[in-house]
Chain A
Amino acid sequence: MSYTLSHEQLSEIEEILQHNLIDLGVHCVFLIDMAGNIIANHDNGESSHDIYSLAALAAGNFGAVTAMAKIIGEGEFSLLFHKGEKENIHFSKILSDYLLITIFGNDISLGFLRLKVADVVEKTNKILGSFDAE
């Protein structure tokens, strides 16, 4: 089964990512599905990460953590955060099939980022909510 989003829907999502996250100082952001496909991505122009590999690993990582959550009696962990020395990664689930991944430096506080991500999730929900990937 394949699925698609219209040109308008993708533009709208990219605008949300740009306005709410990249303009804030986030280095790179991408929206993926749980199969590891990239739906939309944006960066600050200085970031050169291999996003296709990152997406595949992020989907796998999120799936593994969800399986761990189930073992300890949680339905899922809807939010994940990995802290590095210079770069940090934040994962947030959108609906049942999508994942928003944000890569940011230490100049942005985690609390502020979470607030902004929550805002993006809510806005993106409305666009993606019209259909479910799987």
Chain B
Amino acid sequence: MAFINMKKKEVQVKVVYYGPGRGGKTSNLEYIYKKFRERIQTEMITVKTHGDRTLFFDFLPFDIGKINGYDVKIQLYTVPGQVKYNATRRLVLRGVDGIVFVADSMVIRKDKNILSIKNLEENLTDYKKSISKIPLVIQYNKIDLAEQGIPVLSFEEMEKDLNSVLKAPSFSASAITGVNVVQTMKKIIAMTIASIKQELK
């Protein structure tokens, strides 16, 4: 839920990267942080366990400059993907304005992707939000693994699994090498800002 500060002429927008565990949500934020290091004034916050898995969330504030005279501050969050951390996932989703669903292209993760997007739908329902109405971009991550001979799902198959009803904008990507990471972020920011503008009309 974006907060618009009329006094400071500032809009704060919350975008959450959601998806199954080890799918590359944190890697997306790390790539963005590295790529735009000179524009990001603060450190990326990350709450991890000893095993380097996200325990609570990662947080990266990102100023995108002025839109219609308002300073737009995008707050990028990730959720912990592991099934057992649903309570924390729900907490991070509170007040979300836009979502990037990061799916794992590996064939062995097919079912986990489907479970995770269903879990997203349920958690949004708890906040009286609908997955079909909230700004959403789907990213099929880890396409680089195909070059290493690891079996990956095709774009069409993943679309069928996750996006046949939602018809959200989607990208094949590689968070490690940076393929389509920035494009994914730009798309979700554009959709979220458009949605907020629409509300304000």
Contact A3 B127 (CB under 8 A): no
Contact A60 B57 (CB under 8 A): yes
Within 8 A of A (CB), among B51-73: 56-57, 59, 61, 73
Contact B12 A37 (CB under 8 A): yes
Our pick among A37, A39, A50 for the contact of B95 (Cβ within 8 Å) is A37
Given the contacts A52-B61, A134-B127, A64 and B56 also touching, CB distance less than 8 Å: yes
Contact A6 B2 (CB under 8 A): no
Measured CA separation A110–B137 after assembly (Å): 46
| Complex contacts, A113 vs chain B, CB 8 Å | none
Within 8 A of B (CB), among A35-55: 35-39, 50, 52-53
User: A128 interface residue, CB < 8 Å from B?
Assistant: no
Interface of A, helix, strand, loop or mixed by DSSP: mixed
| Complex contacts, B77 vs chain A, CB 8 Å | 56
Our pick among A2, A11, A57 for the contact of B45 (Cβ within 8 Å) is A57
Given the contacts A2-B200, A52-B73, A56-B77, A39 and B59 also touching, CB distance less than 8 Å: no
Shortest CB distance B196–A (Å):
5
A/B pair count, beta carbons within 8 Å? 96
Chain A: number of interface residues, binned into ranges: 20 to 34
User: B150 interface residue, CB < 8 Å from A?
Assistant: no
Q: Which of A4, A36, A133 has most B Cβ within 10 Å?
A: A36
User: B91 interface residue, CB < 8 Å from A?
Assistant: yes
Measured CA separation A20–B7 after assembly (Å): 21
Measured CA separation A67–B14 after assembly (Å): 22
Within 8 A of B (CB), among A64-104: 64, 67
Known contacts A2-B11, A56-B59, A56-B77, then 7 further A-B pairs from the complex at CB < 8 Å, ordered by chain A residue: A3-B3, A10-B6, A36-B59, A37-B1, A60-B47, A64-B88, A134-B127
Residues of B that sit less than 8 Å from A by CB:
1-7, 11-12, 14, 42-43, 45, 47, 56-57, 59, 61, 73, 75, 77, 87-88, 91-92, 94-97, 127, 196, 199-200
Residues of A that sit less than 8 Å from B by CB:
1-7, 10-11, 33-39, 50, 52-53, 56-57, 59-60, 63-64, 67, 133-134
